[in-house]
Amino acid sequence: MPRLAERSGLSPADYLAWERQQPVRHEFVRGEVFAMAGGTPRHNALCVNVAAALHAALRGGPCRTFSSDQRVGLGPGERYVYPDVTVVCGPVRLEQGSTDVVANPTVLVEVLSESTEQYDRGLKWDGYRRIAALTDYVLVSQSERRLEHFGREPDGSWRYRAAGPGESIPLTGGAVLRVDAVFEDAMELPGD
Protein backbone atom coordinates (compact mmCIF):
# COMPACT_ATOMS: atom_id res chain seq x y z
CA MET A 1 0.00 0.00 0.00
CA PRO A 2 1.61 3.31 -1.01
CA ARG A 3 1.87 6.00 1.61
CA LEU A 4 0.10 9.28 0.91
CA ALA A 5 1.69 12.61 1.69
CA GLU A 6 -0.07 14.43 4.51
CA ARG A 7 1.59 17.76 3.78
CA SER A 8 3.64 19.06 0.86
CA GLY A 9 5.90 21.99 0.17
CA LEU A 10 7.46 22.29 3.61
CA SER A 11 11.03 23.43 3.98
CA PRO A 12 13.26 21.20 6.14
CA ALA A 13 13.23 23.83 8.92
CA ASP A 14 9.43 24.14 8.78
CA TYR A 15 9.07 20.34 8.89
CA LEU A 16 11.36 20.00 11.92
CA ALA A 17 9.54 22.78 13.81
CA TRP A 18 6.12 21.32 12.92
CA GLU A 19 7.14 17.69 13.64
CA ARG A 20 8.40 18.52 17.13
CA GLN A 21 4.84 19.61 18.01
CA GLN A 22 3.03 16.55 16.60
CA PRO A 23 1.54 13.74 18.72
CA VAL A 24 2.48 11.15 16.04
CA ARG A 25 5.65 10.80 13.98
CA HIS A 26 6.08 11.80 10.34
CA GLU A 27 8.90 11.20 7.87
CA PHE A 28 10.08 13.93 5.50
CA VAL A 29 11.12 13.30 1.90
CA ARG A 30 12.12 16.35 -0.15
CA GLY A 31 9.28 18.60 1.01
CA GLU A 32 6.62 15.93 1.47
CA VAL A 33 5.51 14.67 4.89
CA PHE A 34 4.27 11.11 5.49
CA ALA A 35 2.57 9.83 8.65
CA MET A 36 4.13 6.80 10.32
CA ALA A 37 1.76 3.90 10.93
CA GLY A 38 1.57 2.17 14.29
CA GLY A 39 3.05 -1.32 14.49
CA THR A 40 1.43 -4.66 15.27
CA PRO A 41 2.23 -6.43 18.56
CA ARG A 42 4.66 -8.72 16.67
CA HIS A 43 6.38 -5.74 15.00
CA ASN A 44 6.79 -3.98 18.34
CA ALA A 45 8.06 -7.11 20.12
CA LEU A 46 10.65 -7.66 17.38
CA CYS A 47 11.80 -4.03 17.69
CA VAL A 48 12.20 -4.39 21.46
CA ASN A 49 14.04 -7.72 21.12
CA VAL A 50 16.52 -6.26 18.61
CA ALA A 51 17.09 -3.12 20.69
CA ALA A 52 17.56 -5.17 23.87
CA ALA A 53 20.00 -7.54 22.18
CA LEU A 54 22.04 -4.68 20.75
CA HIS A 55 22.00 -2.73 24.00
CA ALA A 56 23.20 -5.77 25.98
CA ALA A 57 25.91 -6.64 23.43
CA LEU A 58 27.24 -3.08 23.21
CA ARG A 59 26.98 -2.13 26.90
CA GLY A 60 30.13 -0.54 28.27
CA GLY A 61 31.58 0.25 24.86
CA PRO A 62 31.53 3.28 22.57
CA CYS A 63 28.20 2.37 20.90
CA ARG A 64 24.71 3.51 21.95
CA THR A 65 21.35 2.01 20.98
CA PHE A 66 18.32 4.21 20.24
CA SER A 67 14.61 3.39 19.84
CA SER A 68 12.32 4.17 16.93
CA ASP A 69 11.74 7.67 18.32
CA GLN A 70 15.22 8.74 17.17
CA ARG A 71 15.08 10.85 14.01
CA VAL A 72 17.89 10.25 11.50
CA GLY A 73 18.86 12.68 8.73
CA LEU A 74 19.63 11.39 5.25
CA GLY A 75 21.45 14.34 3.77
CA PRO A 76 21.03 17.75 5.38
CA GLY A 77 17.50 18.99 4.80
CA GLU A 78 16.72 16.27 2.28
CA ARG A 79 15.10 13.44 4.25
CA TYR A 80 14.26 12.66 7.87
CA VAL A 81 13.26 9.14 8.93
CA TYR A 82 12.67 7.05 12.05
CA PRO A 83 14.40 3.65 11.81
CA ASP A 84 13.05 0.95 14.14
CA VAL A 85 16.44 0.73 15.90
CA THR A 86 19.51 2.97 15.51
CA VAL A 87 23.03 2.40 16.83
CA VAL A 88 25.72 5.08 16.89
CA CYS A 89 29.31 4.03 17.62
CA GLY A 90 31.48 6.86 18.92
CA PRO A 91 30.26 10.36 19.67
CA VAL A 92 26.75 11.17 18.45
CA ARG A 93 26.87 13.80 15.71
CA LEU A 94 23.74 15.84 15.21
CA GLU A 95 22.76 17.55 11.99
CA GLN A 96 24.04 21.12 12.03
CA GLY A 97 21.55 23.44 13.70
CA SER A 98 19.59 20.54 15.21
CA THR A 99 19.34 19.13 18.71
CA ASP A 100 17.55 15.90 17.76
CA VAL A 101 18.59 14.67 14.28
CA VAL A 102 21.32 12.01 14.29
CA ALA A 103 23.68 12.36 11.33
CA ASN A 104 26.05 9.44 11.95
CA PRO A 105 24.22 6.14 12.53
CA THR A 106 26.44 3.06 12.41
CA VAL A 107 23.73 0.37 12.45
CA LEU A 108 20.12 0.77 11.26
CA VAL A 109 17.39 -1.85 11.71
CA GLU A 110 13.97 -2.04 10.08
CA VAL A 111 11.29 -4.58 11.00
CA LEU A 112 9.47 -5.28 7.75
CA SER A 113 5.71 -4.75 7.47
CA GLU A 114 3.45 -5.47 4.51
CA SER A 115 2.83 -1.74 4.12
CA THR A 116 6.48 -0.64 4.41
CA GLU A 117 8.62 -3.51 3.05
CA GLN A 118 8.93 -2.08 -0.45
CA TYR A 119 9.90 1.32 0.99
CA ASP A 120 12.40 -0.20 3.47
CA ARG A 121 14.08 -2.22 0.70
CA GLY A 122 13.92 0.56 -1.89
CA LEU A 123 13.84 4.30 -1.30
CA LYS A 124 14.79 4.08 2.38
CA TRP A 125 17.71 1.70 1.72
CA ASP A 126 18.87 3.95 -1.13
CA GLY A 127 19.08 6.84 1.37
CA TYR A 128 20.66 4.74 4.10
CA ARG A 129 23.54 3.44 2.03
CA ARG A 130 24.62 7.02 1.28
CA ILE A 131 25.32 7.67 4.98
CA ALA A 132 29.10 7.63 5.29
CA ALA A 133 29.07 6.35 8.89
CA LEU A 134 26.65 3.47 8.21
CA THR A 135 28.26 0.03 8.32
CA ASP A 136 25.27 -2.28 8.88
CA TYR A 137 21.65 -2.41 7.73
CA VAL A 138 19.45 -5.18 9.12
CA LEU A 139 15.99 -6.18 7.91
CA VAL A 140 13.84 -8.29 10.24
CA SER A 141 11.04 -10.38 8.72
CA GLN A 142 7.65 -10.62 10.42
CA SER A 143 6.55 -13.63 8.39
CA GLU A 144 9.46 -16.00 9.13
CA ARG A 145 12.42 -16.24 11.50
CA ARG A 146 14.85 -14.49 9.18
CA LEU A 147 17.29 -11.61 9.36
CA GLU A 148 18.82 -9.98 6.31
CA HIS A 149 22.06 -8.04 6.67
CA PHE A 150 23.84 -5.60 4.41
CA GLY A 151 27.39 -4.97 5.66
CA ARG A 152 29.69 -2.33 4.24
CA GLU A 153 32.99 -3.72 2.94
CA PRO A 154 36.29 -1.79 3.27
CA ASP A 155 36.03 -0.78 -0.40
CA GLY A 156 32.59 0.79 0.22
CA SER A 157 30.57 -1.95 -1.49
CA TRP A 158 27.81 -3.78 0.38
CA ARG A 159 27.78 -7.51 1.21
CA TYR A 160 24.42 -9.29 1.65
CA ARG A 161 23.76 -12.17 4.02
CA ALA A 162 20.58 -13.82 5.30
CA ALA A 163 20.34 -15.83 8.54
CA GLY A 164 17.65 -18.19 9.81
CA PRO A 165 16.94 -20.16 12.99
CA GLY A 166 20.07 -21.15 14.92
CA GLU A 167 22.20 -18.62 13.01
CA SER A 168 23.55 -15.20 13.88
CA ILE A 169 24.84 -12.05 12.23
CA PRO A 170 27.96 -10.23 13.49
CA LEU A 171 27.74 -6.44 13.35
CA THR A 172 30.13 -3.53 13.65
CA GLY A 173 31.09 -2.71 17.23
CA GLY A 174 31.23 -6.38 18.23
CA ALA A 175 27.50 -7.03 18.58
CA VAL A 176 26.07 -10.29 17.31
CA LEU A 177 22.38 -10.62 16.52
CA ARG A 178 21.18 -14.17 17.18
CA VAL A 179 18.09 -14.98 15.12
CA ASP A 180 16.58 -17.07 17.93
CA ALA A 181 16.93 -14.21 20.43
CA VAL A 182 15.41 -11.65 18.05
CA PHE A 183 12.34 -13.84 17.46
CA GLU A 184 11.94 -15.08 21.04
CA ASP A 185 8.28 -14.85 22.15
CA ALA A 186 7.38 -12.73 19.09
CA MET A 187 5.99 -15.02 16.40
CA GLU A 188 2.91 -16.09 18.39
CA LEU A 189 1.80 -12.44 18.60
CA PRO A 190 -0.52 -10.89 15.98
CA GLY A 191 1.44 -9.50 13.03
CA ASP A 192 0.86 -8.68 9.41
Q: What is the mean pLDDT of the chain?
A: 92
Q: Does residue 2 sit within a domain?
A: no
What is the DSSP-derived secondary structure letter of residue 40?
P
What is the DSSP track for 65-112? EE-TT-EEESSTTTEEE--SEEEEESS--BPTT-SSEES--SEEEEE-
Residue 102 lies in a domain: yes
Residue 186, class by beta-carbon neighbours within 10 Å (0-12 exposed, 13-18 middle, 19+ buried)? buried
Residue 10 has pLDDT above 90, yes or no: no
73: in domain: yes
Residue 191 lies in a domain: no
Confidence category of residue 4, pLDDT binned at 50, 70, 90: low
Strands (E), the chain: 5-8, 26-29, 32-35, 63-66, 71-73, 79-81, 85-89, 101-102, 107-111, 136-140, 147-152, 158-163, 168-170, 176-178
Q: Which residues touch 170 (CB under 8 Å, ≥6 apart)?
A: 176
56 domain-assigned: yes
DSSP-derived letter for residue 173 is G
Predicted local distance difference test score (pLDDT) of residue 74: 92
In a domain, 34, yes or no: no
Position 176 in a domain: yes
Range(s) of the domain holding residue 87? 39-182
- What's the pTM value of the predicted model, to 2 decimals? 0.92
Whichever domain contains 58, its CATH number is: 3.90.1570.10
Say if residue 5's pLDDT is above 60.
no
For the chain, what percent of residues have pLDDT higher than 70? 96
Inside any domain, residue 146: yes
Q: pLDDT by residue (tens digit) across 65-116?
A: 999 999 999 987 889 999 999 999 999 999 998 999 999 999 999 999 988 8
* Residues 175 and 58 sit within 8 Å (Cβ to Cβ): yes
- On whether the CB atoms of residues 140 and 50 are closer than 8 A, the answer is yes
How many domains are contained in the chain? 1
Tens of pLDDT, residues 137-146: 999 999 999 9
Give yes or no for a contact between 41 and 105, defined as CB atoms under 8 angstroms apart. no
